[in-house]
Amino acid sequence: MEATPADEGGAIDADEPEAVAGRRSPLRRCIVTGTVGPKDGMLRFVMGPDDTVVPDLDERLPGRGHWVTARPDVLRQAIAKRHFARAARRPVRPPEDLVERVAEGLAERWLRLFGLARRAGQVTAGYEQVRDALSGGKVALRVEATDGSSDGRTKLAGVGRDVPLVFVFSARELADALGRAHVVHAAVESGGFAERLSRDAARVAEFRGVSAWGGVSGGVEQESGRTTR
């Protein structure tokens, strides 16, 4: 994530956006690092009525938002060094399992969005169906189960060489999201769903501590080896 130190980029207060020409995502300031960057690379937290720190992954909860760079090490630092209390200017209590809650919530959010994309007719599942979609140039994002056979994965990589790959979720997780008995190979057509799924898969991978195809960290990768974030 490209970021600018807060003292250079100007003060950006909690949920207040900063208009910057050419940027698609409003800017936010991380309460831990003090850097400013697109909010797509950060996570929002609010303070609950009992002064607990609540993750707002959908960015919809009422109250003043406090933003943290979307990395587990930065979030752990926020907890350990009381950055939430400093930002809220009052004693607050982050749950001991806050990092785990965020990891689980990000995964649930991705799988829910994946299911919505299927219901919108933008997801194809099954080896032959994905192969045909790749051959037709209709695929913006390929999804492979982490516990699936490498043989089929490798063959599909040869068909869709330039298609970004999501390699983060198990076959059971993908199947449950799509309402099917078993899913190893899937593909998402071009559009808003593919863009959001690509971005959010990288967040899930970061918090799960998993690696993408070929050992590249991040969970979303181009077959050429370049990670897309």
Task: Work out the mean pLDDT of the chain and round it to a whole number.
Answer: 85
Domain boundaries, the chain: 4-96, 105-221
| Superfamily (CATH) of domain 4-96 | YlxR-like (3.30.1230.10)
What's the pLDDT score for residue 221?
A: 52
Q: Note whether 4-96 and 105-221 share their fold.
A: no
For residues 72 and 64, what is the distance between their CA atoms, to the nearest angstrom? Answer: 22
Mean pLDDT, to the nearest integer, of 32-43? 94
Does 68 have pLDDT greater than 50? Answer: yes
What's the pLDDT score for residue 214?
A: 36
What's the pLDDT score for residue 22?
A: 47
Task: Compute the residue count for the chain.
Answer: 229
Tell me which of 1.10.579.10, 2.40.50.140, 3.30.70.940, 3.30.1330.30 is the CATH number of domain 105-221. Answer: 3.30.1330.30
Based on the number of CB atoms within 10 Å of its own CB, is 65 exposed (0-12), middle (13-18) or buried (19 or more)? buried
Task: Please state, as a whole number, how many other Cβ atoms lie within 10 Å of the Cβ of residue 182.
Answer: 13
What's the pLDDT score for residue 46?
A: 97
pLDDT by residue (tens digit) across 86-137? 999 999 999 999 999 999 999 999 999 999 999 999 999 999 999 999 999 9
pLDDT by residue (tens digit) across 191-204? 889 999 998 999 99
What is the value of pTM for the model shown? Answer: 0.81
Per residue, the 3-state secondary structure of 14-34, as one string, reads CCCCCCCCCCCCCEEEECCCC
pLDDT by residue (tens digit) across 40-64? 899 999 999 899 999 999 999 999 9
Mean pLDDT, to the nearest integer, of 148-154? 93
